[in-house]
């Protein structure tokens, strides 16, 4: 059985979550990045400013496909390039009996 693992490292501490679907892994990873960056309504100076960022609202993300989420995750990860204390990744693996 294939599972997807979200690996997160914050200040040298590692966190791992396992997901039965790739979509679930992307949702978790995006939400974690958004939380780490402190993205919320007050994060943006104007509605135009928010349009320059990848989607971040949970209710909208949950309606998206796995492929759409993979692009959004990638876009958010690009915004982490200078955050050396935080890293994240998604890996597919198999559960062994």
**pLDDT, average across residues 5-33:** 95
- Note the maximum CA span of the chain: 52
pLDDT at 65 over 80: yes
Q: CA 87, CA 10: separation in Å to the nearest integer?
A: 7
Q: CA 87, CA 76: separation in Å to the nearest integer?
A: 11
pLDDT at 66 over 80: yes
What local confidence, expressed as pLDDT, does residue 71 receive?
97
CA-nearest of 31, 22, 19 to 61 is 31
**pLDDT, average across residues 92-97:** 89
What local confidence, expressed as pLDDT, does residue 48 receive?
76
CA-nearest of 33, 37, 36, 26 to 66 is 26
pTM of the predicted model as reported, rounded to 2 decimal places = 0.88
**pLDDT, average across residues 44-53:** 77
């Amino acid at each position: 059985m294939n599972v997807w693992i979200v690996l997160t490292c914050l200040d040298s501490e590692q966190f791992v979550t396992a997901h039965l679907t790739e979509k679930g892994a992307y949702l978790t990873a995006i939400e974690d990045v958004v939380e780490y960056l402190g993205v919320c309504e007050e994060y943006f100076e104007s509605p135009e400013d928010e349009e320059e960022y990848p989607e971040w609202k949970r209710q909208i993300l949950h309606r998206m496909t796995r492929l759409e989420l993979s692009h959004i995750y990638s876009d958010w990860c690009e915004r982490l390039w200078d955050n050396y204390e935080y890293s994240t990744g998604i890996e597919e693996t198999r559960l062994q009996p």
